[in-house]
Copies of this chain bind each other. A is one copy, B any other.
């Protein structure tokens, strides 16, 4: 069976408004979501209430809470819509069941996980090897349309700095 067919046959379609949460940090949400349209933000809230943005998720992306799925409570996160969003939800357990029986599904899973790993590897590299300013420059080059859509606060927390810090960095870039 085809991966997209699986989503269409067994998935549940959800329509969410801007500001709606898909799930909250701490909840065990054993699902994978395919984003049909819209924009979401995955974020961590620390004990002292500070927010860090893990990722933005756009149309055609797939997002799921891998770690909660495997009961790694450490880095469970919240998922919220930044725009009206349509997503298709399917339990990870269903995906794994199908993977055990169906070669095509299994290989789609491998594709998804490979792409996910590469994205994470790139982000890991950016934190390890680049400064906040360099991370911003790279993002401006590769995803300028994203920067237009999100607030400075979310953008800053995604880059690993505060909104105040981001403002300073932008100023520095403009001056040359």
Q: Are A120 and B124 in contact (CB under 8 A)?
A: yes
A100 sits at the interface (CB 8 A): yes
A6 sits at the interface (CB 8 A): no
Q: Which of A79-120 contact B (CB under 8 A)?
A: 96, 99-101, 103, 106-107, 109-110, 113-114, 116-118, 120
Contact residues on A (Cβ < 8 Å of other chain), bracket: 35 or more
* Cβ-neighbour of A46 out of B54, B66, B103, B129 (below 8 A): B129
Q: Are B160 and A114 in contact (CB under 8 A)?
A: no
A74 sits at the interface (CB 8 A): yes
Given contacts A103-B100, A103-B101, A113-B113, contact A75 B121 (CB under 8 A): yes
Q: Are B66 and A122 in contact (CB under 8 A)?
A: no
